Structure 1
Amino acid sequence: MSTSTLVRRRSLLLSAAASAALAACGGGDDDGAADAPAAWRVPAETEPQQAVMLASIGYDYKVGWSILETQAAMIAALAPSVPVVYLVNSAEEREAMRLALGAAQMSGTQIAQRVRFLTVEHAEMWVRDYGGIFQTTARGDLRMVDFDFDGYGYNAFSGPDTNDTYNTDNDLAVRVGAAMGVECVRSPLVCEGGNLHFNGRGTVIALLGDGTEGVGLLGRNKGWTAAQIEAELKRVFSVTKVIFLKRNMPSDAHTVMQTPYRMPDDVWAYNVGVTHIDEMIAWVDERTLLLPEVTGAELAAAIAAGDPVTQLAHDVLQEAHAILSAATDQDGRPFTIVRVPEPGPIVVELTPDDNAWWMIADMNQHPTHKLKGAERFANEEPVSYLLPASYMNFVVSDGVVLVPRFYQPGRDLTLKDKDAAFAQIIAARYPGRRVVQIAPDALLAGGGGLHCITQQIPKQVAWQFAV
């Protein structure tokens, strides 16, 4: 089936294949469960996991930045501690990953024992967002929650090719659930897993936004109020406390509505952001949060250099700190907030040879809001690109934590110190787990990071990992 023939999930004209998958996955928009709603919960990412899910992608966003190699490094680091489920479209994709894992020093026996290849149709790799969010009960049941998906708010801005790609993945959770034999329940809310961080005990933190089109939960759910969004999250996840942060990080900004940013030396930098909470915070335990910090010295240097990204990041993070400092958990207890490094702006060049360049160029279809500097793309000129770099976009699993390493030769040397400092913080805060640094640039070029391309499957009895 070509992507051009796919339809959105809530269209009245579901294809026969989608209808079959819906039936296998539970179908409908009711909760479909015999248990009382309070019985279901999303375990914290620090709780035991049965496997971690990733998915293939058929192209790189930037020439020379290999997604396959990055994923192979992640899987090789995860596999000794937790098995991996890897979604593929074809035998060719399966074999390509086997070869990449071999190059990453995994033996054939290790691959056979620790990696399960699951054939499920998909277009891209962002399984955190639309691959389904797993819930469990105390008796060991397992199910998935599936939200509506509007291409990260870009459907109104992008052309048909980009939208066909996003629409292909609108039902990925349905197909994953059918392939795994796991019930799937659905919500009409437009949301992604990357914009929800659960403490596992009844509290979830999300980025609400200010209602700007395509940005945050408010901008993505026209006609919904903040109170209605909160009520839906409580209904679906049985949480009792929802905490909303207001603004997204500038490194995670909407391409049309919020960028480009004018950087030092008159450079205009674009971004492909999705305004997610996993760029801003992470849970250490049910009452302890990590939150980046722009130091006073970094702010002063940014003001002197005319760097608006660092200045805005400072303001956003200070606002988030104020909100979280005043908030409490589901039991009325305050949080401990641990400040960690903020990498600052990392700007690279994109050219028409890069898929990410074309992804940005395609975002000029909105009837009112147009891509700033569109003439650069019309003339096929190189553009500057602000990577969505955040230390918060890391992966916690059984026995291991994958953290980003942003320094590369030629970049600001302070990144090397920040990489080391963050790894030390993680080692201290997540004792008993190996800390493995992974260069995420190939993922950042597409708008996400390590956390974005993974989804944990809780350790429960309803579904068992098997090769």
Structure 2
Amino acid sequence: MSRFPVLRRRSLLLGAAASAALAACGGGSDGPGEGAPVWRMPAETEPQRAVMLASMDFDYKHGWSTLEVQATMIAALAQTTPVVYLVNGDADRERMRQALMAQSMAAEDIAERVEFKVVDHAELWIRDYGGVFLTDGCGHLRVVDFDFDGYGYNAFSGPYTNDAYNHDNDLAVRVAQAFGAESLRSPLVCEGGNLHFNGRGTVIAVLGDGTEGVGLLGRNQGWTAAQIEAELKRVFGVTKVIFLKRNMPTDAHTVMQTPYEMPGGEWAYNVGVTHIDEMVAWVDERTLLLPEVTDAELAAAVVAGDTVTQIAHDVLQEAYAILSAATDQDGRPLRLVRVPEPGPIVIQLTPDDEAWWMIEDMNQHPTHRLKGAERFANQEPVNYLLPASYMNYVVADGVVLVPRFYRPGRDAGLIEKDAAFAKIIQAQYPGRRVVQIGVDAVLAGGGGMHCITQQIPRASLV
């Protein structure tokens, strides 16, 4: 039996209240013309009304608490940015309240800084399918509602995975209703995590090469790159779209791209989604952070037989070449700041872990089969490559949350990389606190801190 009801897609939702509010600002038309609103996607560095997260009632790896990670994030955010936390009911609200008090957040501060909003949902990946917020600059919000195919896994997964994805298929519409905003429907299969905006008219995304289930081309069969670009321009009002060709190996499709052969001949699976927020991040309207695999790291990877690092090197060098030749919406060259690449971090999953069952479930495609499915049939432990990327960080008013990847037993080089990245962020975001957070519990589910947050812009002109 399905854990969640299956919901049907809805077309454009435009509530009467949202229409009236829009008309008061000079019209309710999407089209050009006098009085029509001008919608835009603000940069993440611009003032925010709040940061949104969503509750989760299970952990991807036994003993690794997603609730604790979220509470740590919220306690750091709430000092300078209000937080909206989506819950399914009182139990979710109370769990988070207790977790926040365990983070030494006083009850009165929770009441003042954290808004619990009841919005029906299954999982916590709010950036991806919970809607992308636009503003018209005069007090109104619009929520973009993309089509969703379970991150390209619908054709590969059975009910265990697809029930949750189907349940959250229209989450953006429910979020819009909860905020009294209109929602704009797009037929494009896309998630917010594969879109990075500079706030002035440029967006970057991973296009892919058309491989089934991978990238915008692979997941929008029948669309051309030009059609995808045109749809992004229509929806977001941007004038420049930059496409990167490939995803990071730590953000790979479980069936089509993994398992990887690791040093020693063992395999490592990944649950990736081909998103740009694993590769780059805007610092300002012309400056991008881009990871780098150094020559020394590449040489060591070749000797060790570390194919993941070798692939990461090639992907990032390709991205560097594309971005070095690219310009912004005004024709100005981009500035690139290279940052550390953490390298492969492999953990073990067992049948005690939800993530183990998530991978086991991905063997339903009529043609493309999960390699090593017999290991799951035999209930064996498997290796899992964490989607560790420093780019998956969160910018809010007054603070930047950055991931910390070192923990006892891991490569000691991560201590230096964690510190180096935090130092770079402090220099690039002067005036904001930098808070390092251990995010393993979220990584075990296939994403990072950026994936489980969504900024809600202040609905006024900047």
Whether TM exceeds 0.5 here: the answer is: yes
Once the two structures are TM-superposed, the CA of residue 447 in structure 1 deviates from its matched residue by: 0.2
Q: Given that residues 26 and 184 in structure 1 are in contact (C-alpha distance below 8 angstroms), is that contact kept between their aligned partners in structure 2?
A: no
Where does residue 236 of structure 2 map in the other structure? Answer: 237
Where does residue 268 of structure 1 map in the other structure? Answer: 267
Three-state SS of the structure 1 residue aligned to 2:86 is strand
Once the two structures are TM-superposed, the CA of residue 129 in structure 1 deviates from its matched residue by: 0.4
Where does residue 24 of structure 2 map in the other structure? Answer: none
Where does residue 418 of structure 2 map in the other structure? Answer: 419
1:6 and 2:1 are equivalent in the alignment: no
Give, in whole Å, the separation in 2 of the partners of 1:43 and 1:432: 19
String of CA shifts for 1:179-235, please: whole Å, max 9, x gaps.
111111110000000000000000000000000011000001011000000000001
1:447 and 2:446 are equivalent in the alignment: yes
Q: Which moved more, 1:431-440 or 1:160-169?
A: 160-169
Q: Given that residues 25 and 184 in structure 1 are in contact (C-alpha distance below 8 angstroms), is that contact kept between their aligned partners in structure 2?
A: no
Trace 1:372-391 onto structure 2 (pairs within 5 A).
372-391=371-390
**Could you list the runs of 5+ residues in structure 1 that have no partner in the other structure?**
12-18, 463-467
Where does residue 29 of structure 2 map in the other structure? Answer: 34
Trace 1:55-454 onto structure 2 (pairs within 5 A).
55-454=54-453
Where does residue 14 of structure 1 map in the other structure? Answer: none
Q: Given that residues 209 and 248 in structure 1 are in contact (C-alpha distance below 8 angstroms), is that contact kept between their aligned partners in structure 2?
A: yes
Once the two structures are TM-superposed, the CA of residue 90 in structure 1 deviates from its matched residue by: 1.1
Q: Given that residues 256 and 372 in structure 1 are in contact (C-alpha distance below 8 angstroms), is that contact kept between their aligned partners in structure 2?
A: yes
Q: Indicate how the Cα distance of structure 1 residues 459 and 244 shifts in structure 2: closer, same or farther if over 3 A, else same.
A: same
Q: Given that residues 26 and 185 in structure 1 are in contact (C-alpha distance below 8 angstroms), is that contact kept between their aligned partners in structure 2?
A: no
Give, in whole Å, the separation in 1 of the partners of 2:53 and 2:136: 24
Once the two structures are TM-superposed, the CA of residue 10 in structure 1 deviates from its matched residue by: 4.9
Once the two structures are TM-superposed, the CA of residue 459 in structure 1 deviates from its matched residue by: 1.0
Q: Indicate how the Cα distance of structure 1 residues 228 and 264 shifts in structure 2: closer, same or farther if over 3 A, else same.
A: same
Give, in whole Å, the separation in 2 of the partners of 1:449 and 1:432: 24
Once the two structures are TM-superposed, the CA of residue 7 in structure 1 deviates from its matched residue by: 2.9
Where does residue 15 of structure 1 map in the other structure? Answer: none
Q: Given that residues 3 and 168 in structure 1 are in contact (C-alpha distance below 8 angstroms), is that contact kept between their aligned partners in structure 2?
A: no
Q: Which runs of 4 or more aligned residues in structure 1 lie more than 3 Å from their structure 2 counterparts after TM superposition?
A: 1-5, 21-27, 35-38
Quick one: which amino acid aligns to residue 257 of structure 2?
A: Q
Quick one: which amino acid aligns to residue 156 of structure 2?
A: F
Give, in whole Å, the separation in 2 of the partners of 1:60 and 1:224: 36
Give, in whole Å, the separation in 1 of the partners of 2:205 and 2:17: 26
Q: Given that residues 56 and 88 in structure 1 are in contact (C-alpha distance below 8 angstroms), is that contact kept between their aligned partners in structure 2?
A: yes
Q: Given that residues 260 and 269 in structure 2 are in contact (C-alpha distance below 8 angstroms), is that contact kept between their aligned partners in structure 1?
A: yes
Sequence identity of aligned pairs in percent? 76
String of CA shifts for 1:8-49, please: whole Å, max 9, x gaps.
3159xxxxxxx9x7757979xxxx943656811100000000
Quick one: which amino acid aligns to residue 29 of structure 2?
A: A
String of CA shifts for 1:383-428, please: whole Å, max 9, x gaps.
0000000000000000000000000000000000000000000000
Give, in whole Å, the separation in 2 of the partners of 1:22 and 1:42: 19
Once the two structures are TM-superposed, the CA of residue 372 in structure 1 deviates from its matched residue by: 0.4
RMSD (CA atoms) = 1.8
Three-state SS of the structure 2 residue aligned to 1:312 is helix
Give, in whole Å, the separation in 1 of the partners of 2:184 and 2:252: 30
Give, in whole Å, the separation in 2 of the partners of 1:347 and 1:153: 23
Once the two structures are TM-superposed, the CA of residue 6 in structure 1 deviates from its matched residue by: 1.8
Q: Indicate how the Cα distance of structure 1 residues 24 and 394 shifts in structure 2: closer, same or farther if over 3 A, else same.
A: farther
Quick one: which amino acid aligns to residue 34 of structure 1?
A: S
**Could you list the runs of 5+ residues in structure 2 that have no partner in the other structure?**
20-26
Quick one: which amino acid aligns to residue 410 of structure 1?
A: G
Once the two structures are TM-superposed, the CA of residue 161 in structure 1 deviates from its matched residue by: 2.6
Q: Indicate how the Cα distance of structure 1 residues 7 and 142 shifts in structure 2: closer, same or farther if over 3 A, else same.
A: closer
Once the two structures are TM-superposed, the CA of residue 50 in structure 1 deviates from its matched residue by: 0.6
Three-state SS of the structure 1 residue aligned to 2:45 is coil
Three-state SS of the structure 1 residue aligned to 2:264 is helix
Give, in whole Å, the separation in 2 of the partners of 1:416 and 1:327: 33
Three-state SS of the structure 1 residue aligned to 2:164 is helix
Once the two structures are TM-superposed, the CA of residue 143 in structure 1 deviates from its matched residue by: 1.0
Q: Indicate how the Cα distance of structure 1 residues 35 and 156 shifts in structure 2: closer, same or farther if over 3 A, else same.
A: closer
Three-state SS of the structure 1 residue aligned to 2:288 is strand
Three-state SS of the structure 2 residue aligned to 1:285 is coil
Three-state SS of the structure 1 residue aligned to 2:337 is strand
Q: Indicate how the Cα distance of structure 1 residues 221 and 61 shifts in structure 2: closer, same or farther if over 3 A, else same.
A: same
Quick one: which amino acid aligns to residue 96 of structure 2?
A: M
Q: Indicate how the Cα distance of structure 1 residues 217 and 25 shifts in structure 2: closer, same or farther if over 3 A, else same.
A: farther
Q: Given that residues 5 and 167 in structure 2 are in contact (C-alpha distance below 8 angstroms), is that contact kept between their aligned partners in structure 1?
A: no
Once the two structures are TM-superposed, the CA of residue 324 in structure 1 deviates from its matched residue by: 0.3
Q: Indicate how the Cα distance of structure 1 residues 24 and 353 shifts in structure 2: closer, same or farther if over 3 A, else same.
A: farther
Quick one: which amino acid aligns to residue 9 of structure 2?
A: R
Give, in whole Å, the separation in 2 of the partners of 1:452 and 1:440: 12
Q: Given that residues 136 and 460 in structure 2 are in contact (C-alpha distance below 8 angstroms), is that contact kept between their aligned partners in structure 1?
A: no
Give, in whole Å, the separation in 1 of the partners of 2:423 and 2:179: 37
Give, in whole Å, the separation in 2 of the partners of 1:33 and 1:373: 54
Once the two structures are TM-superposed, the CA of residue 58 in structure 1 deviates from its matched residue by: 1.1
Q: Given that residues 190 and 217 in structure 1 are in contact (C-alpha distance below 8 angstroms), is that contact kept between their aligned partners in structure 2?
A: yes
String of CA shifts for 1:29-82, please: whole Å, max 9, x gaps.
xxx943656811100000000100000011000011000000000000000110
Three-state SS of the structure 2 residue aligned to 1:170 is coil
Give, in whole Å, the separation in 1 of the partners of 2:444 and 2:17: 33
Once the two structures are TM-superposed, the CA of residue 138 in structure 1 deviates from its matched residue by: 2.7
Once the two structures are TM-superposed, the CA of residue 172 in structure 1 deviates from its matched residue by: 0.5
Once the two structures are TM-superposed, the CA of residue 141 in structure 1 deviates from its matched residue by: 2.3
TM-score (norm 2): 0.95
Q: Given that residues 202 and 238 in structure 1 are in contact (C-alpha distance below 8 angstroms), is that contact kept between their aligned partners in structure 2?
A: yes
Q: Given that residues 25 and 174 in structure 1 are in contact (C-alpha distance below 8 angstroms), is that contact kept between their aligned partners in structure 2?
A: no
Give, in whole Å, the separation in 2 of the partners of 1:406 and 1:92: 31
Q: Given that residues 155 and 365 in structure 2 are in contact (C-alpha distance below 8 angstroms), is that contact kept between their aligned partners in structure 1?
A: yes
Give, in whole Å, the separation in 1 of the partners of 2:2 and 2:94: 23
Give, in whole Å, the separation in 2 of the partners of 1:61 and 1:403: 21
Give, in whole Å, the separation in 1 of the partners of 2:17 and 2:357: 35
Give, in whole Å, the separation in 1 of the partners of 2:96 and 2:348: 28
